[in-house]
Structure 1
């Protein structure tokens, strides 16, 4: 009988130890975004598979709101935090809050600005934004034959995605064999479809007739396509490129409207972020920076991506 009690006690201790690292707070910059929705769902489904409890919070694009969510997670005693930042420059403040409380923190997708070295219990899981811009711009250059006029739709200013992707696009178009491509204009549409549609409409109205529209993400590319088609532009006459390879974008590519996108693995980032924060919480070894590669998607390899994410 004593052996039975000892075995039961040991089993309960194991359960208690496991549960200790299984309450994770997740602060997302914005729920109402196609890619971030897929990212969020991948975190949730992976948590469900592992038996981990996650609490999801929507910052609604508000930095102060997100910082408050981090503070609330710490106060509620979570075992770890995952955060998709509203703004790259806000990362250091949130890093400091978690570090002072000794709570593991993993940034997902957006790398905090100027953070070359993370505190002991912190990490980042995401993708190299410049790689996305390079893959995208190089393919656009190839389709344009290295010359012509282009417009760039940028994401929210100050985010690592906007900075990295735009910098890479500019670099590709300013160097051989792509230096015959002229950037007519570049403006932000804040990652969103409707603002991109409005901006593209304004460009059309002003008389701009680009051979290519290069968007920092798929949502803006889709907005541009809507505006171009509404203006009577034949989509065979303009190259449109995005990033993320969302299902809507892949459908647009299958329909012949979108020419280029770059697959960003929401599954790889979401599962990687949860696995990393659990490793930190349990005291296991982990990498402070985990990079998930981008992949070029064109009509030639489209079928391989239709069921991803």
Structure 2
């Protein structure tokens, strides 16, 4: 009897040890809830996330959730992640206000949420890793306004109404326009929801209404700037007669900058994604040190032990001098 008891106890201890060891080696389960994957920029962001060193080595099990540009879809995805016991969530919201409920529910469930790329009005985020969209809006508008010497009619093509990038880039647009005084008139301003096709349709209507009076096109992302260019070409007009700018540095925009068709401000989605995952891992594992290289790439964005409430990835204006190098990085 004693031998059997000893063997039984040994088996139980061994099983417990195996279970504990297996548990210690289980990968962290992280979800990335992004607003939509139809356009290149968020595809670049998602691809970078999937290639984070901790995802590649198996220590993080990452799932990308396509929000399909719908706040309700993102809410449901959060509920799924909460139910399934995810360790952390990286959130790229479609709506600055609607996303706050999802963050609160995750927080109440003990799941840290790290924002990235677009913002949400919530004090419950562990941190935010993105870029200053007010600065981007200012830089793109100033490029257009400098071209037209602060004189003439311009149009503004906005992102989805209620998303932080639309709001903040709009603030930057307005700041640059205000610096011009009364010489610039905004004759049209409307959303095209980050869509090249929607922007093309808008621009076609505006060209019909205003003809060649439009001198500048301020598009709050590159996809919409490219749609405006297509509309100009379809109308038989010269792209060189307009000053056009966008934000993101997507591949087609880089090519358009190289041709001299537009201005673009590069948003480093790769750095945003990698940094957000680093911070999310740190929120779960206090001993973690970042494995991505973005902290060396942008030394001004200090790691600070993963404890900063906000990390701003710098913008890079695309120029004739750097466009070839940026295109090469995409190959």
TM-score by length of 2: 0.83
Task: Name the structure 1 match of 2:314.
Answer: 293
Task: Name the structure 2 match of 1:227.
Answer: 231
Specify every segment of 5 or more residues in structure 2 that has no aligned partner in the other structure, as ranges. Answer: 1-15, 288-304
Task: Name the structure 2 match of 1:91.
Answer: 99
Q: 1:95-148 CA distances to partner (integer Å, 9 max, x unpaired)?
A: 1111100011111111113x3x335xx221111100101111222222222222
Q: 1:29-87 CA distances to partner (integer Å, 9 max, x unpaired)?
A: 11112111110111011153342211122121221111111111111111111111121
Q: Spell out the pairing of 1:170-249 with structure 2 (5 A cutoff).
A: 170-176=174-180, 179-209=182-212, 210-249=214-253
Q: Which of 274, 278, 300 in structure 2 is aligned with 1:275?
A: 278
2:159, 2:216 → 1: CA distance?
17
1:153, 1:95 → 2: CA distance?
29
Whether the 8 Å CA contact 1:106–1:125 is kept in 2: the answer is yes
Whether the 8 Å CA contact 2:257–2:318 is kept in 1: the answer is no
Q: 1:284-306 CA distances to partner (integer Å, 9 max, x unpaired)?
A: 54222111111211334322322
Task: Name the structure 1 match of 2:129.
Answer: 125
Whether the 8 Å CA contact 1:118–1:288 is kept in 2: the answer is no
Q: Aligned-residue CA RMSD in angstroms? A: 2.2
Task: Name the structure 2 match of 1:160.
Answer: 164
Q: Larger deviation: 242-251 or 48-57? A: 48-57
1:11, 1:283 → 2: CA distance?
24
Partner of 1:157, secondary structure, is: coil
Q: Spell out the pairing of 1:106-117 with structure 2 (5 A cutoff).
A: 106-113=114-121, 115=122, 117=123
Specify every segment of 5 or more residues in structure 1 that has no aligned partner in the other structure, as ranges. Answer: 1-8
1:232, 1:220 → 2: CA distance?
19
TM-score by length of 1: 0.89
2:120, 2:50 → 1: CA distance?
23
Task: Name the structure 1 match of 2:292.
Answer: none
CA 1:98 to 1:249, structure 2 compared with 1: closer, same or farther past 3 Å? Answer: same
Larger Cα-atom Rg: 2
1:270, 1:134 → 2: CA distance?
24
Task: Name the structure 2 match of 1:49.
Answer: 56
Whether the 8 Å CA contact 1:218–1:243 is kept in 2: the answer is yes
Whether the 8 Å CA contact 1:218–1:246 is kept in 2: the answer is yes
Q: Larger deviation: 199-208 or 178-187? A: 178-187
CA 1:134 to 1:18, structure 2 compared with 1: closer, same or farther past 3 Å? Answer: farther
Task: Say yes or no: does 1:32 pair with 2:53.
Answer: no
Partner of 1:290, secondary structure, is: strand
Task: Name the structure 2 match of 1:306.
Answer: 327
1:159, 1:172 → 2: CA distance?
21
